[in-house]
């Protein structure tokens, strides 16, 4: 059967959707990878501080002590332990976030009969962002599980006097599947889901709100010609500032959910059940782990590592939006 030449043509509408999706994935991936390399040592510190909340004796006195001990005992390589997983995660996370966020906004425009290029009100931006975060959490949980397990490898108890051989990300990934099945890859997903849906709503909403204030302030100070030609174009420093504030908002909103997730995902490594023990250990759940952390150290325990997380998220988020907005502005 002959194929009509017309059947091979891509309609303008479908082409625009494909190209738009490709751009969002590409821009988001690049921005995410670059920011992740910058922030990884601080993320490692955060996970290690979160994972010690349920220990009877703390290994670290705070973020500076954790960074210092990691550097002295493990060197530069130790600060970047587990980096491949979050690099992949950053690509998946930011590509998914920006793609789904944009498509959900387009869906809302269609439902509310708005023009395709009209800026949505803040409440619709928050809904789109929360939906994007919820979708992304399903991709992110297995990646974060591998990352967290690798970040605490050197802290795991051992009775051997020979140097330990640390498994890589593929070995960690396959071991989880072998011992717990595919479902085991989503251990801690409740925490990731809460953090990503609520945090992403705060992230995009804060970024858009602060950006609108900066643009409004600038246009008031400029003459009428500039207002007409460039009032809606974010300058690089405006992208960075609004992104920085958004980064702090993301982590402050629901940080305890991330603490519980990290504790659940590192429980097996840091507090393993003895082979001779007759006690059957309950599978960690979000609720039980939350209560255990609260009983152990109260609110302070649930916010372990929050300071350094907010501190690193400010420049990291600034980098993400600076790169993403810059690529979108210059490449379309």
| Residue 223 clears pLDDT 80, i.e. is over it | no
Torsion of CA 138, 95, 83, 286, to 10 degrees: -20
| Residue 185 clears pLDDT 90, i.e. is over it | yes
H helices within 222-285, ranges in order? Answer: 224-230, 236-253, 255-270
| Residue 292 clears pLDDT 90, i.e. is over it | yes
pLDDT at residue 234 in the model: 87
| Residue 26 clears pLDDT 90, i.e. is over it | no
Please tell me the CATH superfamily of domain 13-155+167-205+234-270+296-331, with its number: Mitochondrial carrier domain (1.50.40.10)
pLDDT at residue 228 in the model: 47
**Total number of residues shown for the chain:** 332
pLDDT at residue 13 in the model: 43
Region 17-23 average pLDDT: 75
Q: What is the DSSP letter of 323?
A: H
Residue pointed to by tokens 């708005």: 114
| Residue 245 clears pLDDT 80, i.e. is over it | yes
Region 19-32 average pLDDT: 81
pLDDT at residue 283 in the model: 77
pLDDT at residue 16 in the model: 65
User: Which one, of 117, 104, 96, 28, lies nearest residue 319 by Cα?
Assistant: 28
CA distance 4 to 30: 39
Region 77-81 average pLDDT: 84
Tokens linked to 140: 């992110």
pLDDT at residue 332 in the model: 66
pLDDT at residue 6 in the model: 43
CA distance 41 to 87: 13
H helices within the chain, ranges in order? Answer: 12-51, 63-79, 84-111, 122-151, 169-180, 189-221, 224-230, 236-253, 255-270, 286-302, 306-331
The CA-atom distances, in angstroms, between 10 and each of 3, 15, 18, 332 are: 14, 6, 10, 20
Tokens linked to 291: 């209560």
274 pLDDT tier (thresholds 50, 70, 90): low
Tokens linked to 35: 């920011």
Region 206-235 average pLDDT: 75
Cβ neighbors of 200 (< 8 A, separation 6 or more) are: 97, 101, 129, 130, 132, 133, 136, 250
Contact 155, 270 (CB under 8 A): yes
| Residue 216 clears pLDDT 70, i.e. is over it | yes
Tokens linked to 170: 């593929």
Q: Where are the domains of the chain?
A: 13-155+167-205+234-270+296-331
| Residue 8 clears pLDDT 70, i.e. is over it | no
Region 217-236 average pLDDT: 66
Region 146-170 average pLDDT: 78
Tell me which range, 74-88, 131-145, 156-170, 219-233, is most confidently predicted by mean pLDDT.
Answer: 131-145
Exposed/middle/buried for 157, CB within 10 Å: 0-12, 13-18, 19+? exposed
| Residue 177 clears pLDDT 80, i.e. is over it | yes
Task: Tell me the pLDDT of the chain averaged across its residues.
Answer: 85
| Residue 80 clears pLDDT 90, i.e. is over it | no
């Amino acid at each position: 059967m002959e194929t009509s030449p017309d059947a091979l043509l891509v309609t303008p509408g479908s082409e625009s959707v494909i190209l738009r999706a490709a751009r969002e994935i590409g821009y988001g991936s690049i921005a995410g990878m670059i920011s992740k390399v910058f922030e990884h040592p601080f993320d490692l510190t955060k996970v290690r501080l979160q994972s010690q909340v349920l220990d009877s004796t703390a290994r670290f006195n705070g973020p500076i002590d954790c960074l210092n001990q990691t550097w002295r005992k493990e060197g530069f390589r130790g600060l970047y332990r587990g980096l491949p997983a979050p690099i992949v995660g950053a690509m998946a996370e930011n590509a998914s976030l920006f793609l789904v966020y944009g498509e959900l906004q387009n869906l809302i425009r269609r439902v509310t009969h708005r023009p395709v290029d009209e800026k949505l009100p803040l409440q619709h931006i928050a809904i789109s962002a929360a939906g994007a975060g919820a979708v992304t959490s399903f991709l992110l949980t297995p990646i974060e599980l591998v990352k967290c397990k690798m970040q605490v490898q050197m802290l795991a108890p051992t009775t051997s006097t020979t140097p330990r051989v640390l498994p890589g990300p593929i070995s960690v990934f396959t071991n989880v599947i072998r011992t717990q099945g595919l479902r085991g890859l989503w251990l801690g997903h409740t925490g990731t889901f809460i953090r990503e849906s609520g945090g992403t709503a705060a992230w995009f909403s804060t970024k858009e709100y602060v950006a609108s204030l900066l643009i409004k302030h600038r246009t008031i100070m400029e003459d009428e010609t500039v207002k007409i030609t460039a009032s809606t174009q974010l300058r690089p420093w405006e992208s960075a500032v609004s992104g920085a504030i958004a980064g702090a908002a993301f982590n402050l909103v629901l940080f305890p959910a991330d603490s519980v997730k990290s504790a659940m995902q590192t429980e097996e490594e840091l507090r393993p059940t003895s082979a001779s023990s007759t006690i059957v250990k309950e599978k960690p759940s979000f609720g039980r782990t939350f209560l255990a952390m609260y009983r152990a150290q109260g609110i302070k325990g649930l916010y372990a590592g929050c300071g350094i997380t907010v501190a690193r998220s400010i420049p990291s988020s600034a980098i993400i939006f600076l790169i993403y907005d810059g690529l979108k502005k210059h490449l379309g």
